């Protein structure tokens, strides 16, 4: 049976389960096991709702309650020092916590078990051996263990068990699917857990493939579909579940990869790398992305970065970041064009040595080889560099400005960066409206009138081709995806800022515009592409908010992971991949249908 539990964080849980226990089982004194399959959409938080509608500013997606969690399994009250066992889930940090409180009120816990909060199905087994240990298994592998031998014969907790809340019906799990819940007085062996895992993951893969076959994009031919259907049918008759899973997964991967060679444009998307120093963890994650792209057989036309290239706006740090990009791209993707905007970390005021002027100088100099130097690829050419505002920072003859247009393999990209407003201090030290005056562009996109005129000029040129063109900018529009809220104090703002209505109205006028952004650090599964509606024009355009290389909070927790973009005549396909695990993540794939002459195909 499939259970879907949904609860707001707090003392009263609305949805939970008090399962029937095997006759004579007392969870306070006896050994027992709880097993089930678990899936936690959007990282397990009730408030992380995906959005598929046209969204306007002020829609009220309030995402401030981010660091809350709930009880997954327990025979005790979550509050106080009552003895008993618990497994907790904290969706913001994507942790499971296994623990118990002994009869003296002492807490014993193991935390940092990240895997189950990644939006995929996982097999969970809680084994309580009262003469040995409390153990947690995830996907048939040991994840945590606490010694129980000293408490044999003692009553730990209540003679009852609760799933999805504590025994007082408090602090319910936020958003979780449970399947095949089982409670037994006999502890399963490692072989039993492996067999259950093998059978269950094959079943879930079969369901995923059946669903995918029923909603395929036009890039998949009938021949491709028939081949995968045969592999699926064969797996339904298999007796060796582990081997059947491997065979079917291989067939599925080959099927998903098949149309990529026919894509008109291929992009690798790079979210918020935050490089601080050569060979730091963030630069290693960028290298993981590029190395895995090569290993997977993908040859992108462009690597598109959405800003926060460096972790700070110091000039030296910015140059280190672009040196890293240059070295890694030449090593792994020598034919790929690099395109990048700057982000708030590249431009915000932290000190006289770390601010917009310093960070954008590093950005301009670091990007120069990719626009006018040896790293501009043969299939790319720069269309125009906007100099009206940036000119005050450029010496005579310098070509790389702050916003620019570039064409790669016949597709246009406009890289849009915030214009300069006077910075005199750090809003981090003045967390109020006065901080807005000190650093008015800390968390925002601000465009001068001349920039709006230039955008109309460039968009008019690009629109004439009758095919998609991309605007690459750091910030999402207000309330379009979870966390993209607007706050008047700009250091608290997570959106494009106060010019949102004007910018979205302009963008919505162009039928073929596609907006790519980052900034939010939400993982895959938090949201897919959304349509951004302008109340002024009544028209909309797609926004793609991509996950970050630095850290991925909420939803798919593994980092680095993200999308490759494939362009076809009638659709844009976003293929999700875990670059570290070297595997595709089909449940996070997304499709954007394209339009021709105003009509959706």
What are the pLDDT digits (tens) for 174-232?
889 999 999 999 999 999 999 999 999 999 999 999 999 998 888 999 999 999 999 99
**Distance in angstroms (rounded) separating the CA atoms of residues 326 and 91:** 36
Identify the pLDDT of residue 456: 97
Residue 109 in contact with residue 99, Cβ under 8 Å? Answer: yes
Question: Residue 559 — pLDDT band, cuts 50, 70, 90?
Answer: confident
User: Most distant CA pair in the chain: distance in Å?
Assistant: 86
Tokens in use for 540?
């909309």
Identify the pLDDT of residue 189: 97
Tens of pLDDT, residues 224-268? 999 999 999 999 999 999 999 999 999 999 999 999 999 999 999
Tokens in use for 530?
């959304």
Question: Residue 41 — pLDDT band, cuts 50, 70, 90?
Answer: confident
Identify the pLDDT of residue 112: 77
| Strand ranges (E), 335-424 | 337-340, 380-386, 403-408, 411-415
Q: Is 260 helix (H, G, I), strand (E, B) or coil?
A: helix
Tens of pLDDT, residues 133-153? 999 999 999 999 999 999 999
Taking residues 433-442, report their average pLDDT: 95
Identify the pLDDT of residue 198: 98
What sign for the dihedral angle of Cα 107, 110, 111, 113?
Answer: negative
pLDDT tops 90 at residue 7: no
Tokens in use for 424?
């005199």
Tens of pLDDT, residues 508-554? 999 999 999 999 998 888 888 999 999 999 999 999 999 999 877 67
Residue 527 in contact with residue 518, Cβ under 8 Å? Answer: no
**Distance in angstroms (rounded) separating the CA atoms of residues 572 and 515:** 12
Which of 286, 285, 290, 231 is CA-nearest to residue 258? 231
For the ranges 93-97, 278-282, 360-364, 404-408, the lowest mean pLDDT is seen at 93-97
Identify the pLDDT of residue 375: 95
Q: What's the pTM? A: 0.89
Residue 507 in contact with residue 475, Cβ under 8 Å? Answer: no
pLDDT tops 60 at residue 66: no
**Distance in angstroms (rounded) separating the CA atoms of residues 154 and 105:** 13
What CA–CA distances, in Å, run from 165 to 35, 67, 71, 135, 378? Answer: 16, 17, 5, 20, 59
Helix (H) or strand (E) holding 500: helix 500-508
Taking residues 456-472, report their average pLDDT: 97
Residue 277's contacts (CB-CB under 8 Å, 6 or more residues apart) are: 283, 317, 320
Half-sphere exposure of 488 (CA within 13 A, CB side): 3
Residue 484's contacts (CB-CB under 8 Å, 6 or more residues apart) are: 61, 476, 477, 478, 494, 495, 520, 545
Identify the pLDDT of residue 54: 46
Tokens in use for 381?
């050419």
Taking residue 3's Cβ as centre, other Cβ atoms within 10 Å add up to: 16
Identify the pLDDT of residue 391: 58
């Amino acid at each position: 049976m499939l259970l879907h539990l949904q609860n707001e964080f707090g003392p009263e849980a609305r949805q939970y389960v008090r399962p029937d226990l095997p006759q004579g089982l007392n969870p306070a004194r006896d050994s027992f096991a709880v097993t089930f399959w678990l899936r936690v959409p959007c990282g397990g938080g009730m408030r992380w709702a995906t959005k598929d509608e046209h969204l306007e500013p002020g829609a009220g997606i309030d995402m401030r309650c981010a660091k809350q969690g709930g009880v997954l399994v327990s025979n005790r009250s979550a509050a106080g020092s009552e003895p008993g066992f618990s497994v907790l889930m904290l969706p913001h940090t994507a942790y499971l916590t296994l623990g118990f409180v002994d009869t003296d009120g002492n807490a014993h816990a193991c935390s940092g078990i990240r895997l189950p909060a990644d939006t995929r199905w996982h097999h969970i087994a809680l084994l309580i051996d009262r003469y040995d240990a409390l153990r947690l298994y995830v996907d048939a592998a040991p994840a945590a263990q606490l010694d129980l031998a000293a408490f044999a014969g003692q009553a730990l907790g209540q003679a009852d068990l609760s799933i999805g809340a504590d025994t007082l019906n408090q602090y319910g799990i936020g958003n979780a699917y449970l399947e095949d819940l089982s409670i037994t007085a006999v502890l399963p062996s490692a072989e039993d857990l492996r067999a259950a895992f093998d059978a269950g993951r094959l079943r879930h893969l079969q369901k995923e493939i059946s669903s995918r076959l029923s909603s395929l994009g036009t890039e998949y031919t009938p021949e491709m579909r028939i081949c995968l259907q045969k592999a699926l049918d064969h797996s339904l008759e298999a007796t060796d579940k582990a081997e059947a899973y491997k065979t079917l997964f291989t067939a599925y991967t080959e099927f998903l990869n098949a149309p990529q060679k026919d894509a008109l444009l291929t992009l690798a998307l790079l979210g918020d790398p935050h490089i601080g120093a050569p060979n730091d963890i963030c630069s290693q994650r960028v290298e993981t992305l590029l190395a895995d792209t090569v290993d997977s057989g993908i040859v992108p036309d462009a690597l598109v970065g959405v800003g926060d290239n460096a972790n700070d706006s110091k000039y030296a740090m910015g140059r280190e970041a672009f040196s890293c990009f240059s070295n890694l791209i030449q090593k792994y993707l020598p034919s790929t064009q690099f395109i990048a905007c700057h982000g708030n970390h590249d431009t915000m005021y932290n000190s006289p040595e770390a601010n917009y002027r310093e960070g954008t100088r590093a950005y301009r100099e670091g990007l120069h080889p990719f626009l006018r130097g040896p790293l501009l690829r043969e299939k790319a050419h720069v269309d125009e560099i906007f100099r009206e505002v940036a000119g005050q920072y450029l010496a005579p003859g310098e070509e790389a400005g702050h916003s620019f247009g570039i064409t790669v393999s016949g597709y246009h990209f406009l890289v849009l960066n915030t214009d300069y407003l006077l910075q005199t201090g750090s809003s981090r030290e003045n967390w109020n409206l006065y901080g807005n005056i000190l650093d008015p562009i800390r968390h925002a996109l601000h465009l001068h009138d001349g920039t709006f005129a230039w955008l109309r000029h460039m968009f008019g040129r690009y629109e004439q081709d009758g095919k998609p063109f991309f605007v690459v900018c750091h910030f999402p529009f207000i309330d379009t995806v979870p966390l993209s809220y607007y706050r008047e104090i700009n250091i608290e703002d997570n959106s494009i800022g106060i010019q949102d209505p004007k910018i979205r109205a302009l963008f919505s006028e162009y039928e073929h515009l596609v907006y790519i952004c980052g900034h939010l650090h939400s993982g895959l599964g938090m949201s897919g592409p959304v349509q951004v509606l302008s109340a002024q024009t009544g028209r909309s355009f797609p926004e793609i908010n991509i996950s970050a290389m630095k850290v991925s909070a909420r939803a798919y927790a593994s980092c680095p992971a993200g999308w490759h973009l494939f362009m076809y005549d009638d659709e844009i396909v976003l293929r999700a991949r875990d670059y570290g695990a070297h595997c595709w993540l089909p449940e996070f794939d997304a499709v954007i249908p394209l339009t021709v002459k105003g009509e959706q195909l």
